[in-house]
């Protein structure tokens, strides 16, 4: 019996998501990948069953089911379709700044629409010249009367062009580095807000990824989240809580590929026996399953930590994202190998899963950055060795 920290109520929600995934999402996965169109019908499905609101407070129309439950839902959906899993994960990511640092007035104004799925949300931090180095961002915001005027551009923004609400980071003090970054809510119909190129991609093709241009974009001063200069701190708090969402997406891909490869290996015969009986195939499946289960244990631990507002979240969040995404890449490559030539053609889903898996090692902070974060946090812990002192 797998380790399961979920309550009975949470298991019921998981069962609902599993049923929706099997009956409604899985049959659409290949078509979404082939067309590259944003799946509004899947958005409507999540709206209809109130999946968007899982982690939101009840006062904003949510279920208050917690971050762990949200991670489980993203994982379950991503077993069939990483694009739809990402839609749910990014809705969480894009609302976190408001939930963590927004005023009650801001929260009451915006969060009910995001929790219901009436509005799709996006998170605009990355720029053409600043990905992992947020201090290098060039987008600026200046206060004019009761409005901020934003100028600059953002790149690789998930949900660009389909989102109604964007969490945007800009420098209110260009000379102050990280301390000069501020955070804003920008509605898609704001004057001066424009969408640029939507990128053709290797995977997660039904999810839009594009450019955002802010050309004298005017937003009310009341749309500043936190105080001027709080933006970088807000962004880091958000990422500590959103990286596990990408980890859940990655784990879902990994488990979905493992399950499919197992089913295939049980029916495909060579040399008079199912290939699952061949030692090399069995060993691959065993490794895939073991790594998925290990990654799940870490991911669920992080979900519990978020719900308990644990103080050492940064390291564990980075570890979960690192491990789950590496396992996703490994498991999908092995799944393609197990299917052989069939694994390389679009008729079978594992080639799509392999393409989808790659991005999980890149966005929400590359895995190289995750390793730096983990090592930095280890040093800060100032742990003592059980052995004799070094040096």
226's torsion region: left (phi>0), alpha (psi -120 to 50) or beta?
A: left
- Residue indicated by tokens 């005023």: 103
> Which residues on neighbouring strands pair with residue 151, listed in sequence order?
140
> Which H or E run includes 184?
strand 181-187
CB 183 within 8 A of CB 225: yes
Q: How far is CA 172 from CA 140, 271, 317, in A?
A: 6, 69, 29
Angle between helices 82-101 and 40-48 (to 10 degrees): 60
CB 46 within 8 A of CB 21: no
CB 88 within 8 A of CB 74: yes
- Cα-based angle 308, 311, 315 (whole degrees, multiple of 5): 110
> Which residues on neighbouring strands pair with residue 168, listed in sequence order?
124, 184
Query: Measured between alpha carbons, how far is 375 from 122 in angstroms, rounded to an integer?
Result: 30
In this structure, what token pair is assigned to residue 315? 């390291």
Catalytically annotated residues: 364
Report the SS3 class of residue 193. Answer: strand
Query: Measured between alpha carbons, how far is 252 from 360 in angstroms, rounded to an integer?
Result: 11
Report the SS3 class of residue 6. Answer: coil
In this structure, what token pair is assigned to residue 232? 């970088």
Q: Name the residue among 351, 316, 322 with its Cα closest to residue 337.
A: 351
């Amino acid at each position: 019996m797998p380790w399961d920290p979920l309550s009975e109520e949470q298991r019921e929600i998981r069962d609902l998501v599993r049923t929706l995934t099997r009956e409604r999402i899985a049959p659409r996965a290949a078509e979404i990948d082939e067309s590259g169109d944003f799946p509004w019908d899947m958005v409507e499905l999540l709206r209809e069953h109130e999946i968007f609101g899982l982690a939101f407070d009840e006062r904003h129309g949510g279920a208050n089911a917690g971050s762990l439950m949200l991670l489980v839902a993203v994982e379950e959906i991503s077993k069939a379709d990483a694009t739809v899993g990402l839609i749910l994960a990014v809705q969480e990511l894009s609302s976190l700044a408001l939930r963590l640092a927004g005023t009650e007035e801001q929260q009451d104004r915006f969060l009910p629409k995001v929790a219901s799925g009436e509005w799709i949300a996006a998170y605009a931090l990355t720029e053409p010249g600043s990905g992992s180095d947020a201090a290098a961002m060039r987008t600026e915001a200046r206060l004019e009367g009761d409005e901020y005027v934003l100028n600059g551009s953002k790149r690789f923004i998930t949900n660009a062009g389909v989102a109604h609400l964007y969490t945007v980071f800009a420098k209110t003090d260009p000379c102050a580095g990280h301390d000069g970054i501020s955070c804003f809510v920008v509605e898609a119909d704001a004057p001066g807000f424009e969408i640029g190129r939507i990128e053709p991609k290797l995977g997660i093709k039904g999810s839009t990824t594009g450019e955002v241009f802010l050309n004298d974009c005017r937003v009310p001063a009341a749309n500043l989240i936190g105080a001027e200069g709080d933006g970088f701190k807000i962004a880091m708090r958000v990422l500590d809580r959103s990286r596990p969402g990408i980890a859940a997406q990655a784990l879902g891909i990994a488990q979905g590929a493992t399950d499919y490869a197992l089913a295939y290996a049980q029916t495909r015969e060579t040399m008079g026996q199912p290939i699952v009986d061949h030692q090399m195939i069995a060993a691959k499946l065993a490794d895939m399953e073991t790594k998925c289960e290990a990654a799940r244990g870490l991911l669920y631990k992080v979900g519990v930590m978020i719900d308990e507002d644990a103080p050492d979240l940064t390291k564990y969040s980075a570890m979960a994202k690192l491990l789950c995404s590496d396992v996703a890449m490994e498991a999908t490559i092995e799944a393609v190998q197990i299917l052989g030539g069939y694994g390389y053609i679009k008729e079978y889903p594992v080639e799509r899963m392999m393409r989808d898996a790659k991005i999980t090692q890149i966005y929400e902070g590359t895995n190289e950055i995750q390793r730096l974060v983990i090592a930095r946090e280890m040093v800060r812990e100032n742990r003592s060795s059980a052995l004799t002192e070094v040096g």
